Amino acid sequence: MGRTSPNSGDDEVGAWVARAPAVPSEWFVRESSLHGVTHTQRVHIHAQRLADELGWTQADTGLLLAAALWHDIGRTNDDVDPGHGALSAARAADLRLPRDLAPDDAAAVLFAIRFHSLSDASARDQAARWRDAGAPGGARRLAEPERALSILWLLKDADALDRVRLAPWEAADPRQLRHDETRRLMDFAARLYARLD
């Protein structure tokens, strides 16, 4: 997309900010400036944009956006915390947030939330386990593990785009992003953060 004026980038950001969802602060275990409401809104915007650019179906986009909304609600700190995905999935289930989703869809969303803070290799291993044996604690097994992984990969990319809020050495590494579309949005992520902080 070519820019027609110096302000057209600001217009683009403004149009996406207008699509930011309301995020209830009471969903979160604790208030956080790093992983709270505005971070969630930015990740949701990145997820919307990536799903649009990749031509995702409305159904899969809806699952991705649910995962984006709930991915950090169980965080208990702002440190590196590989376990916060599991806490956030449990919190979403406890709050009955996925209640309107079909059971297989809810399982895919909760899987993406649970593993968004772990390595891709761990997530792929877990997808195979959840397909065959079901999730820990008797949770529903994954009917479509590749669909759940697709949601997870895009959630992880959307979340990584918002690393612009961290120290420069903690910014997203373009080589670790899973989609070319994500790499192209890194400048947009910086402009979005400047607008929605």
pLDDT in tens, 8-42: 567 889 999 999 999 999 999 998 888 889 999 99
CATH of residue 109's domain is 1.10.3210
Q: What's the burial of 15, exposed, middle or buried (CB within 10 Å: 0-12/13-18/19+)?
A: exposed
pLDDT in tens, 135-152: 666 566 788 999 999 999
Residue 161 in domain: yes
Residue 6 in domain: no
The amino acid present at 153, given as its one-letter code, is W
d(CA 111, CA 129): 12
Residue 81 token pair: 């915390």
- The pLDDT-based confidence of 134 (bands split at 50, 70, 90) is low
| Domains in the chain, number | 1
CB 75 within 8 A of CB 32: yes
pLDDT score for 62: 98
Residue 16 in domain: no
Residue 2 in domain: no
Residue 191 in domain: yes
Residue 58 in domain: yes
pLDDT in tens, 70-99: 999 999 988 888 889 999 999 999 999 999
Task: List C-alpha distances in Å: 167 to 83, 133, 145.
Answer: 22, 40, 34
Q: State yes or no: pLDDT of 4 exceeds 50.
A: no
| Structural domain containing residue 36 | 25-195
